[in-house]
Amino acid sequence: MKKRVFIVHGWEDHPERGWFSWLQKQLEKRGFEVHAPKMPCQPPALKAWKAFLEGLVGVPDKDTYLVGHSAGCMTILRYLEGLPKGYQVGGAVLVAGWTDDLGFKELRNFFEKPVSWKDVRAHCRNFVVIYSDNDPHVKPYHAEVLEEELRANVMAEYGKGHLGGDDGVSELPSVLVELLKLAGAREQATLFSSACFR
């Protein structure tokens, strides 16, 4: 079965901005089926974003992979939390994800109830968290919470702000490398990593 990847952008963002379209092209060249939709409303509303993602994914399985940026990360976590018993995805890469509303009233709707981390982990056992050391919005403690609650592999980027298009981040090789590892394409990941990071 073809491996599917769903890329969920963040607040006031678009799938054609930043590194999303770059990642989509890189994955498609490697045989993945990639969906990078424009999310349904701004500011992000959990109910609408979660329902949209549910409809887009349909029936998830271990060949399903999720990539989120900022609000896309919590959308993915709430999506996983709500999956029926027995469903699992192959893995998730969370970029600049947060674990509280960051002081924005527009994001409070994501936290009307506490996250059931146990339920999230029941539907995904492989998480990678990527953050930037100088993110003006998402401090390193968010990555620490995600690492502890999700048993995630955490990676730091340096000097890349909120890791979005506004920060000049048009490519993000670490996401591709880690996603290829999650999907079992370790040889491709090693080759790409060698080419990009030497």
Q: What pLDDT sits at residue 32?
A: 97
pLDDT tens for 16-35 read 999 999 999 999 999 999 99
Domain enclosing residue 140, as ranges: 4-197
Of 134, 156, 162, give the one whose Cα is nearest residue 19.
162
Q: How many domains are contained in the chain?
A: 1
Instruction: Identify the burial level of 159 via C-beta atoms within 10 angstroms of its C-beta, where 0-12 means exposed, 13-18 middle and 19 or more buried.
Output: exposed
CATH number at residue 63: 3.40.50.1820
Helix (H) or strand (E) holding 5: strand 4-8
Dig out the tokens for 26 from the structure. 């890189």
DSSP codes of every residue in 12-68: T--TTSTTHHHHHHHHHHTT-EEE-PPPS-SS--HHHHHHHHHHHH-S--TTEEEEE
The pTM assigned to this predicted structure is: 0.94
Return the pLDDT at 195: 57
Say if residue 134's pLDDT is above 90.
yes
